[in-house]
């Protein structure tokens, strides 16, 4: 159980740390924390810590056989799902479907020099590699099956029950600022899992979505998507 919870928990902890740092800089008036640089550099640290946790627990992820084995049909479904979620996501930024005020996002180019490219690489790779593995292990490997039985490892990957499916879609949605877009993504990834019975398909689709969104951000300079 811990193998699927700890990486997600560490990621959530860094989100909390980011909020605290932002509060100390803006509200408490701590000059050292008032700029964007501290928050920008938290992301590479977060990415490395979560990646290290995933590597530490890797042998316990029986659902992630290496190398991934997806038939051509499932590869096509995975690609289509990833592109579909990206295309829908960037059109679902309605104010009523957003939690809180719009964020200024993550702009690595507020840092001068080569460091900005390092931050960009971490942001893109973190979102397209580390986050999909971490989130899919937590939501669609652990939570989805745990809601069916506390002996979740005995439940085959991709097992469908209405309650567990809807619950994970809802929880995955509220995890994101764009809650409706999050629910849409959770629905697509969940259906993909039911169809393929392979967590790698969800990870792949999630990775395609996040990578495409990252390229979208870099091309349009709409940093709020990050």
Confidence (pLDDT) at 35: 55
Question: Distances in Å between the alpha carbon of 154 and those of 63, 85, 148, 196?
Answer: 11, 30, 10, 18
Whole-model pTM: value is 0.93
Instruction: Write out the two tokens for 45.
Output: 């640290």
Confidence (pLDDT) at 19: 82
Predicted confidence (pLDDT) per residue in 99-118, tens digit: 987 788 899 998 888 999 99
C-alpha 123/C-alpha 110 separation (Å) is 14
Q: Report, as ranges of residue numbers, the positions in the chain whose pLDDT lies below 50.
A: 32, 34
Give the other-Cβ count within 10 Å of 39's Cβ: 17
Confidence (pLDDT) at 29: 56
Confidence (pLDDT) at 28: 55
Place of tokens 């999630």: 206
Please give the backbone phi and psi of residue 104, each rounded to the nearest 5 degrees, phi first.
Answer: -75, -15
C-alpha 226/C-alpha 224 separation (Å) is 5
């Amino acid at each position: 159980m811990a193998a699927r919870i700890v990486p997600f928990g560490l990621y959530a902890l860094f989100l909390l740390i980011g909020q605290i740092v932002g509060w100390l800089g803006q509200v408490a008036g701590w000059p050292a924390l008032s700029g964007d640089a501290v928050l920008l550099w938290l992301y590479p640290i977060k990415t490395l810590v979560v990646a290290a946790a995933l590597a530490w627990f890797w042998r316990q992820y029986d659902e992630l056989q290496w190398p991934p084995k997806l038939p051509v049909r499932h590869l096509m479904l995975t690609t289509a799902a990833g592109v579909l979620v990206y295309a829908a996501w960037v059109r679902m930024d309605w104010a009523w479907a957003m939690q809180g005020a719009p964020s200024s996002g993550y702009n690595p180019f507020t840092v001068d020099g080569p460091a900005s490219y390092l931050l960009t690489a971490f942001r893109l790779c973190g979102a397209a590699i580390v986050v999909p593995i971490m989130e899919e292990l937590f939501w669609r490997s652990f939570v989805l099956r745990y809601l069916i039985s506390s002996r979740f490892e005995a439940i085959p990957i991709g097992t469908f029950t209405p309650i567990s499916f809807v619950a994970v879609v809802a929880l995955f949605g509220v995890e994101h600022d764009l809650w409706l877009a999050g629910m849409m993504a959770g629905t697509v990834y969940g259906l993909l899992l039911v169809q393929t019975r392979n967590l790698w398909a969800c990870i792949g689709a999630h990775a395609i979505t996040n990578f495409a969104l990252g390229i979208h951000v870099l091309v349009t300079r709409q940093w709020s998507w990050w």
